[in-house]
Structure 1
Amino acid sequence: MIQDSFEFVVYMIHACANKWNRLPSAVYKKLRDSGCIQKFLVPNYEIMHTQGTDFVVSDIEEYLKVRKVAI
């Protein structure tokens, strides 16, 4: 993972944690275990980092919903 995408993933973990009222460590585990980080955020970094935070959080929520992962 390159530095820019790493920073983006960390930022999105914290954005999701704030919206979902969860600890960042719990959000990280959920995103890691669901494949969201390696299969969704990192591969789509070039497009996603240009979008607004709320839009990307919504995309993450949809990714988890499709995979039946509770938030």
Structure 2
Amino acid sequence: MTELEHRQIDFSVFVLYRLAERWNKSVPETYRILDKADALDGYLIPGYDMLHTLGSEYLINDVTDYVRDHGALV
């Protein structure tokens, strides 16, 4: 695994835990929501270069909007 892939995984885990906290859901439940919206492979990983530079509050709101726009209820 490359260094970039490690950073992308760390970033995805960070976002996963922050969202679980914000949404008041378990981590597995939050993962299922992200998976349903294809937010990990379809948004967070491909957008890592730009997204990881954003503040966590903005990022959490952005991913929440993405999930809602893609039909996964939060």
TM-score (structure 2 length as normaliser): 0.89
Judging changes above 3 Å, is the alpha-carbon distance between structure 1 residues 15 and 27 closer, same or farther for their aligned structure 2 residues?
A: same
Q: 1:29 is matched with which residue?
A: 32
* Aligned residue pairs, count: 71
- Structure 1 segments (4+ residues) deviating >4 Å: none
Taking the aligned partners of 1:35 and 1:54, their CA distance within structure 2 comes to 21
1:7-22 aligned within 5 A? 7-22=10-25
Q: CA deviation at 1:66?
A: 1.2
1:56 maps to amino acid: L
Q: Distance in 2 between matches of 1:40 and 1:52?
A: 17
Q: Which amino acid aligns with 2:53?
A: T
Larger radius of gyration: 2
Looking at structure 2, the residues matched to 3 and 42 of structure 1 have their Cα atoms a distance apart, in angstroms, of 11
Q: Which residue of 2 aligns with 1:49?
A: 52
Task: State the TM-score, normalizing by the size of structure 1.
Answer: 0.93
Q: Mind listing any 5+ residue stretches in structure 2 that lack a counterpart?
A: none
> What is the CA-CA distance between 1:68 and the residue it aligns to?
2.4
Identity, in percent, stands at 21
Of the three residues 3, 6, 9, the one matched with 1:3 is 6
Shift of 1:40: 0.2
State the superposition RMSD in angstroms. Answer: 1.2
| Paired amino acid for 1:36 | A
